[in-house]
Structure 1
């Protein structure tokens, strides 16, 4: 059984569910740049309402091309709506989820969420969305081929839209009613309703909706064997619709063209169209379109005499058909719809009974008023006493809780102060060690020893900066890496007296906060590699660039340090220096993989991949 694009919630849903601003999104549904832009707007959104709006755009963007991704965004929107507690948003996001399940081929789950959304909209007395959900439930009945129930719900939906004077939704539901007549075999009545809907879409200048109506009429003319007219309509529809917006409808149109060409005996054209329809429907997980394409393709092979291939394709068609719909799903949908109808009738009966009871009580109240007044006074006194007791008890509990909170807060503040003091003292002790090394260097004549002492002083300074950041910031267990590396590189340039303009440093550091156990070895590695670049890459008057990059790649960190200096000679590359041993030791501590690429006069690049680091 095939459905048009309008069956689950109609093209109108794009307007009413996501607002008119969504039109530009639909035209670029496959544009990764646009998705990145929406995700950025989501992160920068100032409030929950704006975030819900951006999530709605992301749902609509993927709805027909990637239902699973759309469902992820729909559940995110629903979770956020639950947090806001706004009834309208909670109802709307339930409908989002139902729409995603429908386009993903899980109709029984779609019906479940449609009913949840309908109950909430009925409580809000939102007639527009009640009409939309009636339309969606009708689609559920239509899957079960319960045409009377389907028409009943579609007509209920149509009455709501006509009351609201919503011309586009009214036209959409008219198109859906035509679908029912089509599946009943009443083609003349179906054609009249399709034509009426198409004319309204033309008036409203809605080219996408025009394409859907033309597609449906095309299938009628194929049934009537008016094949040139059917082919012309299919081509008109393809010219109107954007494949990126709705690849499923394009697949359906290609299938219709394939069937028409097959009936004309144009087998090559038919095969090309059917292959394209099958490929596109499988690419976008459009199960209904895949089923229809396989059914027609089986007919093609049978017509051309390839009976073995026809049987293979028909088996694939039967498998897809079974996966879309089976008796268990049918029963589940029937139970959900029946339960909704029963509960609705029970509420109506309960309301009538309540009104009758109220009238009876009003008559009795006049006779019993005096007695009730006395009893009420006694009850009021008892309630007042109970409330006063509860109030005093609550006051006592609140005071005790506040006292405990003050004690906890004081203890926490004391521990934070102590921890900051520890970091402060560690930093001071490291500075003392650094100063001792500097004094020692002044009394050493050997240049190599002086250089070793200065390098040791630089390494200690790299650790001192970490503890300085810890006691100066509110976060006592983590350090902002970007700030830390800025200070570290500035210190190194100062220590090695790098003149302005000689070495240009380029930093590309993600906004990361790392714990001390990770940052100390990482800082020493960076200190060592930058020190080597500043000391050896640009001898004499040579100038150049040094690049430092630290990026988060999933759970891993990517460190790259490079220069365009003189590079490392083959002889120097074979030497196992203390600096290289230091880098190797700390890389092992971080379980990191690293390598050096260098050619003489062509610079040096060091790349290190650090797995699964703890972030504060």
Structure 2
């Protein structure tokens, strides 16, 4: 969590610098990255605001692909918050952008996302419509999108209790899942497959799928995902009558739960600490910026005052030169009236001769 806070601080700094030099393309990218980091921190409110700013920046730049990327992120964010209408609207706008750009990979991903939203709403018919459309849109070589569609289709059948149709979808999804795929979603796929096997009474196959899920869960580093597999494995062993194995799996699950709780608590403490430090640095930067702005404003006022005084002196000198006889006489020469007064004979007193 500390790395996310440091990343957020640096992206904010980059954003300020790019705004100062008016590099709008860099500003848009900074906003996208900052929004993603804030989302990873759990600050979904700020993430949404930053994404909207990025959307406005891309719109001013006329970048349709940039807008589609941000709409995709907003759609996922809204879906996480269970704001289904807004999620569908964002994914639909993203889909339009990708289709205009003729990007079938991203268009298929947008259709998969829309199908997933309908799945979470339990609107299974509409979910199947979009997921099947995603499979048709994706190229045959795009095994990742094909696999994602099949996983969601399998989830629909599983939610409807149709395990006979769910299982083939999961198997085909596993076959198409590329080797470069992240371990966490691959582990989740094996978990779903194990649940389908278990519901059909095929516990040995369920155990085998969960063992594969355990390997991938360890590779992902997610303690939450790992504990999920051990809990499911304990239930399968119990149904098979393998009580010592069930107890061992349940013990591992309990131990991981303690670790998950401790990990989450330490992450929350680290997050609060880093947020405090980040906000403190931001306040310091804000104060320095205000101080600089005040100094600049003071210097501008002083410059205006000097210019006004200089202009006043200049116009005063012009007005002095415009007075009749002032320029010829000069400041030290007596005027005509003064000369006349100077040549008048002195008044005589009463007893003067």
Q: When the two structures are superposed, what TM-score results if normalisation uses the length of structure 2?
A: 0.58
Aligned residues of 1:74 and 1:93 also touching (Cα < 8 A): no
The residue that corresponds to 1:187 in the other structure is 124
Which has the larger helix fraction? 2
> Which residue does 1:461 correspond to in 2?
none
Corresponding residue of 1:206: 142
- Equivalent position SS for 2:138: helix
Cα 1:280–1:217 shift into 2, 3 Å: same
Q: Which residue of 1 aligns with 2:114?
A: 177
Asked whether the equivalents of residues 174 and 189 of structure 2 are also in contact (C-alpha less than 8 Å), the reply is yes
* Contact preservation (8 Å) 1:212, 1:249: no
Residue 91 of structure 2 corresponds to which residue in structure 1?
154
Do structure 1's residue 215 and structure 2's residue 157 form an aligned pair? no
Q: Is the 8 A contact 1:294 1:317 kept in 2?
A: no
Q: More relative contact order in 1 or in 2 (CA 8 Å, sep 6+)?
A: 2
- Quote how far apart the aligned CAs of 1:201 are: 0.8
In the alignment, the residues of structure 1 paired with residue 170 and residue 101 of structure 2 have an alpha-carbon distance, to the nearest angstrom, of: 33
CA contact (8 A) 2:210 2:229 kept: yes
1:270 CA drift (Å): 1.8
Contact kept, 8 Å, 2:99 with 2:107, in 1: the verdict is yes
- Give 2:58's aligned residue: 121
Report how far residue 388 of structure 1 moved: 9.4
Q: CA RMSD in A?
A: 4.5
Q: Which position in structure 1 is the counterpart of 2:210? A: 274
Give distance in 2, aligned partners of 1:93 and 1:258.
42
Task: Show CA shifts across 1:171-198 (max 9, x none).
Answer: 2211111111111112232122111101
User: Which residue of 172, 193, 201 corresponds with 1:257?
Assistant: 193
- Tell me the residue number matched to 1:389: 307
- Please tell me whether the aligned partners of residues 262 and 270 of structure 1 are also in contact (alpha carbons under 8 angstroms): yes
The separation in 2 between residues aligned to 1:100 and 1:110, in whole angstroms, is: 8
Distance 1:146-1:170 versus aligned 2 partners, 3 A rule: same
1:285 to 1:158, Cα distance in 2 relative to 1, 3 A: same
Aligned residues: 265
Query: Distance in 2 between the 1:118 and 1:388 partners?
Result: 46
Rounded to whole Å, the distance in 2 between the matches of 1:275 and 1:224 is: 26
1:176-575 mapped onto 2 (5 Å cutoff): 176-202=113-139, 205-286=141-222, 289=225, 293=229, 296-297=232-233, 300=236, 303=239, 313=253, 386=304, 389=307
Give the distance between the partners of 2:124 and 2:8, measured in 1 at CA. Answer: 37
**Cα separation, 1, equivalents of 2:234 and 2:55:** 40
Shift of 1:212: 1.4
Please say if 1:144 is aligned against 2:144: no
Distance in structure 2 (CA, Å) of the matches to 1:112 and 1:155: 20
Answer whether contact 2:183 2:219 (CA < 8 A) is retained.
no
Give how far 1:222 is off. Answer: 2.7
Q: Choose between structure 1 and 2: higher strand proportion.
A: 1
User: Greater CA radius of gyration, 1 or 2?
Assistant: 2
- CA distance 1:179–1:164, shift in 2 (3 Å): same
Gapped runs of 5+ residues in structure 2? Answer: 269-300, 311-353
Match of 1:416 in 2: none
Q: Is the 8 A contact 1:294 1:316 kept in 2?
A: no
Whole-angstrom distance in 1 between the partners of 2:97 and 2:79: 20
Q: How far did 1:269 drift?
A: 2.9
Distance 1:81 1:147, change over 3 A: closer
Q: Supply the distance in 2 between the matched residues of 1:266 and 1:213 (Cα, whole angstroms).
A: 25
Q: Does 1:168 align with 2:168?
A: no
Cα distance in 1 for partners of 2:261, 2:175 equals 30
Q: What is the CA deviation profile of residues 77-131 of structure 1, one whole-angstrom value per residue up to 9, with x for unaligned ones? A: 88667656532233224424544666x6747375465345334324434232222
Change in 2 beyond 3 A, CA 1:184/1:173: same
By how many angstroms is 1:144 displaced?
2.2
Distance across 2 between alignment mates of 1:69 and 1:245? 24
Distance 2:94 2:261 in 1: 29
SS of the aligned residue for 2:186 comes to: helix
Classify 1:126/1:75 alpha carbon distance in 2 versus 1 (closer, same or farther; 3 Å): farther
Scaled by the length of structure 1, the TM-score of the pair is 0.36
CA gap 1:130/1:145 in 2 versus in 1, 3 angstroms:
same
Counterparts in 2 of 1:170 and 1:244: CA distance versus 1, 3 Å: closer
Contact 1:254 1:274 in 2 (8 A): yes
Q: Conserved in 2, the CA contact under 8 Å of 1:81 and 1:93?
A: yes
Q: 1:126 to 1:298 in 2, by over 3 A?
A: farther
- SS of equivalent residue, structure 2 residue 27: helix
Aligned with 2:204: secondary structure?
Answer: helix
SS for the counterpart of 1:185 is: coil
Match of 1:546 in 2: none
